[in-house]
Amino acid sequence: MDTTWIEISKKSIQHNVKTIRSLINKNTLLAPCVKSNAYGHGMREMAKLLIPHKVNMLCVASIEEALVLRESGISIPLLIMGFVPHARLGDILDSRASIFVCEPQTARTLSRLALAARTTVNVHIKVDTGMGRQGLMPRQLNAFIKFIQSLKGLRWEGIATHFASADEPEHPQHFYDQLKIFTHLVKGIKKDRQGFPLIHCANSAATFLEPQSHFDMVRPGLAVYGYYPNDATKKTCLAQGMPLHPSLALKTKIAAVKKIPKDACVSYGCTFITKHHTRIAVLPVGYYDGIDRALSNRGHVLIRGHRAPILGRVCMNITVVDVTRLPHITQKDEAVIIGTQGREEITIEEMARHIGTINYEVTTRLRENIRHIYL
Ligand SMILES: Cc1ncc(COP(=O)(O)O)c(C=O)c1O
């Protein structure tokens, strides 16, 4: 029996996918991001859950992730969006995954490997329209397209860009500038009879906020799991009566309950000293599990539907909370670290605020081998 576990609501995931589907054109492909352990939600299980819901492709970050999905029997198209080391390019053939390319050396090697194996590799050209990260510069695009088309063994399956300001609603202009550049770049592209190359750029924020960004395919990540990338997306969803449903709860069983006297130190560094007799509950979770140390003396957990404040420093495997006001709780009680209990809720966003980060980081930081239960 695990002392700490993650519950994922299948219903919430289904609702979120349905909501995203309802926003996009019937012919627009849906390619959810399941990279980074599906943002902490469990990559294999999420892939299996998503596939029956009119999902056309799954986006991963690495060749390792693509191979894990293939070994789990997942056969739908995969797109590797992250960096693949040169030495691993041969595995792209085994994974039958499509891959972002933006420099000649990778394309040449893939072509050579594909020819030797008498197969083809699907490539998506990645353009940097203002993210300043991966991708070739717009002025290099025409020559690169010709180059890709000249290489045998490669099939030009897509062209893509990525937005820099998904979680920065203060800078909407940069998003529109990028969209304008990309729209201009793809205008002249001739497609084959099957509609390739696919044109795509929309992450969650773009999918919700700007239909012009949908093109042939959208690549939402965060929204699939029920979280908003920024307030603008949240406002839009709520105004349209389309709230997303958070799908993840993190729970643990109380390890011990005890009384400590006035003036007692709690946890490393004695950053909390009791002002009176205090009843504490000791929780078997800590920063190793993804409970950020910045929640020390700040965060709360829910026990029996009440907020119990975190006392002192979050340790590697232990966190102490104040349950003085909850006299009846025992070792048998559950503590909700993320999620709802009774009328109370601790959101991922609340946690992110305390820590000084974004919701993306909170879920992806959860220890990967915490048992996930899909309900
Ligand atoms: C290339 C690319 N596309 C799509 C996404 C999905 O973004 P979001 O989770 O904001 O929807 C990401 C996320 O990091 C990404 O790197």
Q: Domain check: are 160 and 136 in the same one?
A: yes
pLDDT of 168 above 80: no
| Contact yes or no for 34/263 (Cβ under 8 A) | no
Q: Domain check: are 60 and 200 in the same one?
A: yes
The verdict on residue 63 lying in a domain is yes
Pocket of ligand 1 (CB under 6 A): 33, 81, 162, 166, 203-204, 219-223, 229
The verdict on residue 50 lying in a domain is yes
Domain finish residue from 183, 218, 239: 239
Which protein residue has the closest C-alpha to ligand 1 atom 9? Answer: 221
We report the CATH number of the domain holding residue 265 as 2.40.37.10
- Looking at residue 167, its pLDDT comes to 64
Of the listed ranges 128-137, 139-148, 163-172, 199-208, the one predicted with least confidence: 163-172
At which residue do the structure tokens 């699907």 appear?
Answer: 122
pLDDT band at residue 172 using 50, 70 and 90 as cut-offs: confident
Nearest residue to 57 via CA among 47, 49, 65, 67: 47
Residue-wise pLDDT tens digits, 298-349: 999 999 999 999 999 999 999 999 999 998 999 999 999 999 999 999 999 9
Number of structural domains the chain divides into: 2
Q: Domain check: are 159 and 53 in the same one?
A: yes
Of the listed ranges 89-98, 121-130, 144-153, 235-244, the one predicted with least confidence: 235-244
Strand-pairing partners, residue 265, are: 273
Q: Domain check: are 20 and 169 in the same one?
A: yes
Domain finish residue from 213, 239, 265: 239
Q: How far is it, in rounded angstroms, from Cα 321 to Cα 307?
A: 10
pLDDT of 166 above 70: no
- 26 catalytic per annotation: no
The verdict on residue 5 lying in a domain is no
We report the CATH number of the domain holding residue 55 as 3.20.20.10
- CA–centroid distance, 375 to ligand 1, in Å, is 26
Taking the complete model, does pTM exceed 0.85, yes or no?
yes
For helices 43-50 and 10-23, what crossing angle results, to 10°? 50
Domain finish residue from 239, 269, 284: 239
Catalytic annotation, pick one of 35, 225, 227, 251: 35
Domain span at residue 348? 248-374
Decide which of 14 and 169 is more confident. 14
| Contact yes or no for 158/145 (Cβ under 8 A) | no
Neighbours of 284 (CB within 10 A): 17
Q: Domain check: are 37 and 172 in the same one?
A: yes
191: left (phi over 0), alpha (psi -120 to 50) or beta: beta
DSSP secondary structure string for all residues of 240-282: TT------EEEEEE--EEEEE-TT-EESGGG-EE-SS-EEEEE
Q: Domain check: are 211 and 259 in the same one?
A: no
